[in-house]
Amino acid sequence: MIAMEQRLREAISQRQKQRIIDANHVTSAVLVPIYYKQGQYYILFTKRTDRVKEHKGQISFPGGAHHKGDRTLVDTALRESAEEIGLAPGEVKVLGELDDTLTETSNYVISPFVALIPSPYQFKVDGWEVEEIIEAPISALLDKDLHQQTRVIDIDGQAVTSYFYHYQGRVIWGATANILHQFLDIFAEATKG
């Protein structure tokens, strides 16, 4: 596990992060939580409730909008993860940051942070923003048959490739799928040979 942590840290740090600075978008951050369980690595997603204002019922990573009290965007991701799924910030090892991503259906720019979290862990789903936690083996998400669907969409006048992942009857799409695609490329590279 320590070797994987180092390989992921190195793979993420070797990339040049692409930042999106745009005052017309809401600044936000998410945690991309990974953990080791039953001999393999998993990634954690949340399913949003139908009560939230935006992204109703969508599969997402824990996270949300930056608040004035957050010193940094990683603080935003950690605070939101604590609020939504009860993940204590002190239990999280942030490994690095992925490229900023724009949402397709709302006005957010998301800064994603890859993090190792403990397993097993006693999560506490808040029930207001998050309906449930979804655990997916990374090996299943790397299966090319799960995301053969891509399309090019226009976001703020830019052509962006959008990905779709299918896992256990659920569709992961939009900014979450685009962040997932970035992470899976890095994970595949870090686990080569």
pLDDT tens-place string over residues 45-83: 999 887 766 656 689 999 999 999 999 999 999 999 999
- In the predicted model, is pLDDT for residue 159 greater than 70? yes
Q: For a pLDDT cut of 90, what percent of the chain falls above it?
A: 61
The total of other beta-carbon atoms located within 10 Å of residue 160's CB is 15
What's the CA gap between 142 and 38, in Å, rounded?
18
169 confidence band (pLDDT: 50, 70, 90): confident
User: Pairing relation of β-strands 26-37 and 63-65?
Assistant: antiparallel
The total of other beta-carbon atoms located within 10 Å of residue 32's CB is 25
Q: Can you give the pTM of this predicted structure?
A: 0.90
CA angle 187, 189, 192 (to 5 degrees): 105
What's the CA gap between 86 and 182, in Å, rounded?
26
Q: What domains are there in the chain, each with its CATH number?
A: 2-142+172-190 (3.90.79.10)
Write down the pLDDT at residue 56. 63
- In the predicted model, is pLDDT for residue 162 greater than 90? no
Compute the average pLDDT of residues 116-143.
Answer: 93
